[in-house]
Structures are given as C-alpha cells and as structure tokens.
Amino acid sequence: MNTWKIVRPSLAAGAFLAGQMAHAIKREDLPTLENQDPSGRFGDPDAPPLTIVFLGDSSVTAPGVEPLDYAWPRQIALHLARRFSVNAVSVAVGGSKARDVLATQLEQAIDLKPDIAYLSVGSNDALRGTPVPRFEAEYDRIVARLHANVPSVGLSGVGDLGTIPRLPELMRGVARVRARAIDHAIGRVRVNYPRAIKSNAWNVMHPAFEEHPEMFASDLFHASAEGHLLFASVGRPVADKLVEVWQAQINSTHVT
C-alpha cells in the first residue's frame, strides 16, 4: 500500500483548513474580543482548601463572556465552592495549540501543585491543520506529565466546530470532521490514564450551537455567556468525579 497516497489528502485538507481559518480570522466586519482571566478564590475561606488549575486556549479565557462568572471555569469553581475553599488559577492563553501548552503552560501549572488540573485544548489544532497523530502525541505528553504530578486530571473534549458561524460554509464540513478526529484522539489518550476524566463536549455543541445563534459571542467564533453555561452543565458532573478521584488519591497516599 502506498502510504503517501493516504497521507497526502490529509495534508492537503490541513493546508486548506489553515488558509481558510486565516481568512476567517482577518474579517474586519466583526469585533475582536479580549481574552479574560477566570482565576479567583471562591467559597468559605474556612472550608477545606482545593486548588484547581486550568490549562488551554480561549475556551478557558472566555473572550466576550459577560459576566465573567458565567465562564465555564468559574462555574466549575463556584460549583465546587459549595464544599471547598476554591483557589482557581488559569494559565491558559487564547489561541493555544497542544504544542503551546507543552511549551509555556504545563510546567507552570505543575509548579502550582494543584489538587486538580483541567485541560481544555484541541480546537485550534483542529482548525489550524495540526496532523492528528502529532496532536495526539503532544496531548499524550501533556496528560502524562499532569497525571504523574497532579492527583486528578480533567480533559475537555472538543465539540462540533462545524457549527461556528464565522467559518465559511465550505469550511464547516471540514472543521466538523477535523474536530471529531481530534476529540477521538483525546479519548484515546485518556484511556491510558486512570485518574483522568474526559467531558463530552460534542453532544453539547451539536445541535444546540447550530440551532441557537445566541450561543456564540459577537465575533461569531467564541462561545457566548449562554454557550459557556451550557459547557458548565457538562463540566459540573466531571468536576464532582474529579473531586472523588482527588480524595481517593489523597486517602490512598495517607494509607501507604
């Protein structure tokens, strides 16, 4: 079998996608929204302490989300603040791909010695043409380091990026296929790490984001406050499981 014949269409699709994405980003008729920092302290200061660090891209930095408390990382922190004194720290940077998390965020997150790490990256890899095997290898390196140093690790899946209204119509089908491939890669990585839990973003974005334009911010690219609240509805049960994993790990360490 000629492997090049298989790889070449994939590379061509990636190059096409990257070019179309660059064109979509440069649209001057739409606003540019600023990234935000969802970090903060939440809950009763006298409650048991819990530190959660968020790594990733603009899915964490929530451009255009107002009020910021509606951003899904803060919604997770507020949810956990019912039981804990939560220190939520974001090291995420808008526009990041997996290789950027490896280069600039990973060690910074580990140095914070969090109880829980929550990783949300992959959409930019999907949209900017990162080959899936390369993404999967880079993502695996991130999760391996987190799993070795953090008691509990959350992984955000990638949703249906074909719903993004800012993308040209021809590009949406390619974005949908690419997003599904990246999401599956995340799922394959997760299987290797028993203390990692993955959320299912796909079922959240489709069909809700396709049927309800208000799920997108004014730049027609990032999720709006309403979209983030929908993300949070999936993230809260994952956060509860992450706490269970963290507590089980702590108890196991104390026993040994």
DSSP letter assigned to residue 179:
H
CA dist 201 and 215 (Å) reads 14
Distances (CA, A) of 175 to 33, 65, 147, 203, 243: 22, 23, 30, 16, 33
Look at residues 48, 91, 85, 97 and name the one whose alpha carbon lies nearest to residue 73: 91
From first to last of its 256 residues, the chain has per-residue pLDDT tens of: 443 343 444 555 566 666 666 666 566 788 999 999 999 999 999 999 999 999 999 999 999 999 999 999 999 999 999 999 999 999 999 999 999 999 999 999 999 999 999 999 999 999 999 999 999 999 999 999 999 999 999 999 999 999 999 998 888 999 999 999 999 999 999 999 999 999 988 887 778 998 999 999 999 999 999 999 999 999 999 999 999 999 999 888 765 4
DSSP string, 189-214: HHTT-TTEEE---HHHHTTHHHH-GG
Instruction: List, in order, residues 6 or more apart from 167 with CB less than 8 Å away.
Output: 20, 21, 24, 161, 175
Assess if residue 1 is contained within a domain: no
Task: Tell me the two tokens of residue 127.
Answer: 């949209």
pLDDT tens, residue by residue, 50-98 = 999 999 999 999 999 999 999 999 999 999 999 999 999 999 999 999 9
Assess if residue 79 is contained within a domain: yes
Assess if residue 8 is contained within a domain: no
By CB atoms closer than 10 A (0-12, 13-18, 19+), residue 141 is middle
Assess if residue 154 is contained within a domain: yes
Assess if residue 39 is contained within a domain: yes
CATH of the domain at 65: 3.40.50.1110
Domain count, the chain: 1
Give me the domain span that covers residue 84. 34-255
Assess if residue 15 is contained within a domain: no
Tokens 């706490």, located at residue:
243
Assess if residue 168 is contained within a domain: yes
Task: Tell me the two tokens of residue 138.
Answer: 């880079």
Assess if residue 12 is contained within a domain: no
Asked, as a colleague might, if the bond just before 237 is cis with ω within 30 of 0, I would say no
